Amino acid sequence: MDKNSRIFIAGHRGMVGSAIKRKLESNGYTNLLCKTHNGLDLTDQKAVNEFFQSEKPEYVFLAAAKVGGILANSTYPAEFIYQNIMIEANVIHAAYTYGAKKLLFLGSSCIYPKFAPQPMKEEYLLTGELEVTNEAYAIAKIAGIRLCKHYNQQYGTNFMSVMPTNLYGQNDNFDLESSHVMPALIRKFHEAKVEGKPEIVIWGTGLPRREFLHVDDMADACVHLMENYDESDVGEFVNIGVGKDITIQELAELIGDIVGYEGEIVYDTSKPDGTPQKLLDVSRLNGLGWEARISLKDGITETYEWYKSGNEPA
């Protein structure tokens, strides 16, 4: 990419897309194409084709997606599979049809089997059953990976896929009905502190292990790959993570310390835990010259400060 390349960021207002936009701007890219959902419905094939035909983006970051935690995935599985497949199919096909030079598709580590060996290597894809609570979302993301793979195979496109681990940071979703574990805990601890609650209840046993990557690190990795590598360099896809994890209990205690909450943490073991462990093997990514820089404590502290600075929900 040169600094004047026409770059389309699909989903630029979400946590992932906004981080990629910030990174590109800080790197001096000036010709960024961004459309809100009202301006461009990515589930509408006709609208997507018209956009690509008129704007002719040269590079595409496909970060748009319907996302959520266990509760949202379990409650709205049809919406998760339909909307994500439609977004991916429309954007990837239009990128091929209108001659985009390169596309980077962002998936999710939930694509891996529930009981995949840890840490999870890229080749473990489709080697076992998926976690039932987010199966619809995972299948949609697997479809996106395979769309990129087979368009490259049949049409000679340069489309690559990356699989980020659990992300957090600025512009995260803090809604307790639809958020992931990190922002949900930040909000729960903050509100419990403000309201003086003697205890905070967390779903599950606290024993599952999770890996967390700051969204600014993720954006840095994506731009690094787009600038320096082609799909033939990364294989079918490449994991993006930090290569180490912690338990939900350890995460809760860390957030509690950062927020300054002094009450008791209670675990509701009647609620589901989800996948026991999700740790990515990042040796392929490290071999491509990138590794995470932001520590978990620093990242959570920064995210909490952002949340408190007038960004928390009313």
pLDDT in tens, 229-251: 999 999 999 999 999 999 999 99
Q: Is 179 annotated as a binding residue?
A: no
DSSP 108: -
Does the residue 85 lie in any domain? yes
The yes-or-no verdict on residue 256 having pLDDT over 60 is: yes
Identify the helix (H) or strand (E) that includes residue 287. Answer: helix 283-287
Q: Is 13 annotated as a binding residue?
A: yes
Q: What is the pLDDT of residue 241?
A: 97
pLDDT in tens, 44-61: 999 999 999 999 999 999
Domain count, the chain: 1
pLDDT in tens, 157-182: 999 999 999 999 999 989 887 778 89
Q: What is the pTM of this model?
A: 0.91
Does the residue 38 lie in any domain? yes
Does the residue 312 lie in any domain? no
Just list the catalytic residues.
137
Q: How confident is the model at residue 314 (pLDDT cuts 50, 70, 90)?
A: very low
Q: Is 3 annotated as a binding residue?
A: no
Q: What is the pLDDT of residue 103?
A: 98
Q: Is 15 annotated as a binding residue?
A: yes
Q: Is 188 annotated as a binding residue?
A: yes
The yes-or-no verdict on residue 152 having pLDDT over 70 is: yes
Q: How confident is the model at residue 311 (pLDDT cuts 50, 70, 90)?
A: low
Give whole-number Cα distances, 296 to 213, 240, 245, 266, 299, in Å. Answer: 8, 15, 10, 23, 5
31-40 average pLDDT score: 89
Which residue, chain included where needed, has tokens 């003086």? 196
Structural domain of residue 149, as residue ranges? 7-170+212-243+279-294
- Tokens of residue 112, six digits: 């891996």
CATH number of the structural domain spanning residue 147: 3.40.50.720
The yes-or-no verdict on residue 313 having pLDDT over 50 is: no
pLDDT in tens, 6-28: 999 999 998 999 999 999 999 99
